[in-house]
Amino acid sequence: MLNDITIGQFFPGNSLIHRLDPRVKILLTIAYIAAVFVPVNWYGLGLAVLFLVTAVALSRLPVKLLWKSIKPILPIILFTALLNMFYVGGGTVLWEWGILKLTSKGLVNAAFLAVRIVCLIAGSSLLTYTTGPTTLTDALERLLGPLKVIRVPVHEIAMMMTIALRFIPTLVEETDKIMSAQKARGADMESGGLLQRIKALVPVLIPLFVSSFRRAYELAMAMECRCYHGGEGRTRMKQLHMGLRDAAAVAVMLLLFTAMILLNCWTAPVL
């Protein structure tokens, strides 16, 4: 049952997008999220969609995977769209019932918003699908590096994130094992009221905490034995390199922004 949880949705590959420098990828993702909010009409938004489709095609990810990341937030998208549909007035009235009024403008607005959100989600999932969790924290550490000047413990935060991510599957496996062991002694976790179910978790949670602490001590000990002493003067096995392809990616993004702004000036807004 617990095996179904997949956290860190990295989908290994060797495409152009996979090979981009993770720092550039993070910055480009942020830029893209901003870019999605620039267009005021369908031409600009179409450009954003085109950009996304191209990026997905280049990454060679199965489309099903992206759909999987959008599916859980579909209700939220629908809900927001629905609210907008009735909230925005103007245009011809299509349907009316009491205070509810559906207008053509409201409909267009709702569709526009839905496409925007889908772009947002798909764009940011592209980052997590094509970048491994450790690479991601590594890149974040580098990007946040300047904050060290104002004494933000950037390295420590990144290390904590890496360790946490690393131990999620281990803990899931451990939980599974402990649950089996208690079930073998007749623990009943599937029936009973809420209170009873919470009580039934005690025999699982206590051993889980105990073993988490044990693991933490062991890991700390092992790190100390290998002379770990924080980020000071630490070198890396995997050096990040920015290359031509990263420059090209940034250029494409700048082009997208320019095109969007120009389109905004020359064509009429839809809203």
Partner 1 sequence: MAVLEVRQLNYVYAAKTPYEKHALKDVSLQVEQGEFVGVIGHTGSGKSTLVQHLNGLLRPTSGQILLNGKDIWEKPKEIRRVRFEVGMVFQYPEHQLFEETVRRDIAFGPRNMGLSDEEVERRVQKAATFAGLREELLDSSPFDLSGGQKRRVAIAGVMAMEPQVLVLDEPTAGLDPRGREQMLRQIERYRRENGTTVLLVSHSMEDVAAIADRVLVMNGGEAAMMAPTEEVFSRAEELEAMGLSVPAVTRIFMALRRRGYDVGDNVYTVEKAVERLMPLLKRGCRPC
Residues that bind partner 1 (CB under 8 A): 3, 174, 177-178, 180-188, 202-203, 206-207, 210-211
Residue with Cβ nearer partner 1 (191 or 239)? 191
Residue with Cβ nearer partner 1 (131 or 182)? 182
Residue with Cβ nearer partner 1 (148 or 197)? 197
Residue with Cβ nearer partner 1 (206 or 219)? 206
Phi, psi of 39 (to 5 degrees): -60, 145
Cβ atoms of residues 59 and 18 within 8 Å: yes
| Minimum distance of partner 1 from residue 86's CB (angstroms) | 42
| Minimum distance of partner 1 from residue 2's CB (angstroms) | 12
SS (H, E, C) the chain: CHHHCCCCCCCCCCCHHHHCCHHHHHHHHHHHHHHCCCCCCHHHHHHHHHHHHHHHHHHCCCHHHHHHHHHHHHHHHHHHHHHHHHHCCCCCEEEEECCEEEEHHHHHHHHHHHHHHHHHHHHHHHHHHHCCHHHHHHHHHHHHHHHHHHCCCHHHHHHHHHHHHHHHHHHHHHHHHHHHHHHHCCCCCCCCCHHHHHHHHHHHHHHHHHHHHHHHHHHHHHHHHCCCCCCCCCCCCCCCCCCHHHHHHHHHHHHHHHHHHHHHHHCCCCC
| Minimum distance of partner 1 from residue 232's CB (angstroms) | 36
Residue with Cβ nearer partner 1 (8 or 231)? 8
Residue with Cβ nearer partner 1 (211 or 264)? 211
Residue with Cβ nearer partner 1 (166 or 214)? 214
CA–CA distance, 138 with 150 (Å, rounded to integer): 20
| Minimum distance of partner 1 from residue 54's CB (angstroms) | 27
Q: What is the dihedral of CA 140, 141, 147, 148, to 10 degrees?
A: 180
| Minimum distance of partner 1 from residue 16's CB (angstroms) | 23
Residue with Cβ nearer partner 1 (146 or 192)? 192
Q: Which residue, chain included where needed, has tokens 């890496």?
A: 162
| Minimum distance of partner 1 from residue 200's CB (angstroms) | 10
| Minimum distance of partner 1 from residue 4's CB (angstroms) | 9
| Minimum distance of partner 1 from residue 3's CB (angstroms) | 6
